[in-house]
Structure 1
Amino acid sequence: MSDFPSIFVPKASFHTKSFGTLCIHSFNLAKNLVQFEGYVSRESAAKLVHCELYSTLEESKAMCELKEGEFLWEEIIGADVCDRFENGELKLGKIKDIERIGTLDYLLVATDSALVSKGLNKQFFIPNVEHFVLSLSPNGVFTHNALGILEQS
């Protein structure tokens, strides 16, 4: 449902593409059930099944309690990815998206055009693990051995 279930509290508002803004009436964490204001019957609530909820980046930051060094995915998307070597670094591309598979996050990188022109793939995944990701922030993602992943893609 969310990495931050604590955001589902009465009176919290979320945006939708089809139903406008929805305001939470109640939330049952054990059952992962949300009741929205104005949707009191089972039939009216059925319209909202599989409805995706959105918030702005500012709203998300206000609702989520992030620890030092933690960022929302939206803050990381668009950041440059540079692979570090003993004698320098190479820009691999930009974070295009982040996907969670199981319990692991994968950074989808749109490969830099200079590398694509050399015949490398237009995009590739880097697992967000210490072995590959040295640091991650909205200012940039620094990796080690990620060029090897790109070359083998």
Structure 2
Amino acid sequence: MSNRFRNSPSHDLLHVATLGRTVGLKGDMKLNLSTDFPEQFIPNATFTLDNGKEVTLSSYNPDRELVHLKGIDTPEAAKALTNAKLFTTFEATRERCNLGEGEFFWFDLLGSKVVEGESVLGKVQEIERIGPLDYLLVATDPSLVSKGMAATFLIPYIDRFVLGTDATAKVITVEGGLDLLEAS
């Protein structure tokens, strides 16, 4: 899975990075990634800041985690953008990022039904990364909540629990999910 879904100025945008401190005398800045896809930081890629303004990348050095934005050529200009968040569209993410077999964008899994056997356990409300693992935060189906079960629970997104994912149909088939819910 990939690409963290964060609060954004618009629900149509993904938070992919935060601009950090300035480095050097030409307006370079540290880039703190919030995505699994650094390949989207290519020259001439456009991103939206949290204030709604657009910025265009001039260059990105992944080894040094440095970015340079077009028109930001002094440390003073760069300092004004320190801690600004960079957002991109779902479409741009799909265009610039290549998924491997069995990989999905987090935003494509949000709202998916989580099923075990014939039972609907709930819907994916959010995806959390805890340590090296991704977890589905599931909003429990109301019929199960009415039986006294937790309103939400976590399922590790690993083969032991996740049997299959159909991002198009928005269905994730799990095994052992009910046990996790009952233990929550």
Q: So what's the TM-score if we normalise by structure 1?
A: 0.91
Superposition map of 1:25-44 within 5 A: 25-44=58-77
Q: Distance in 2 between matches of 1:9 and 1:71?
A: 21
Q: Quick check: 1:151 aligned with 2:174?
A: no
Return structure 1 stretches of 4+ with deviation > 3 angstroms: none
Instruction: Flag the 1:137–1:48 CA change in 2: closer, same or farther, 3 A.
Output: farther
Residue number in structure 2 paired with 1:47: 80
Q: CA deviation at 1:69?
A: 3.0
Superposition map of 1:1-150 within 5 A: 1=33, 2-84=35-117, 89-138=118-167, 139=169, 140-150=171-181
> Percent of pairs identical after alignment?
40
Query: How many pairs are equivalent?
Result: 149
Unmatched 5+ stretches in structure 2: 1-32
Q: CA deviation at 1:15?
A: 1.4
Q: CA deviation at 1:19?
A: 4.9
CA RMSD of aligned residues (A): 1.3
Describe the superposition over 1:14-71 as per-residue Cα deviations: whole angstroms up to 9, x where unpaired: 1122151111011111111111112211222123233222222111100101123322
Q: Secondary structure at the match of 2:144?
A: helix
Instruction: Flag the 1:73–1:115 CA change in 2: closer, same or farther, 3 A.
Output: same
Q: Distance in 1 between matches of 2:129 and 2:61?
A: 24
Q: Distance in 1 between matches of 2:60 and 2:113?
A: 38
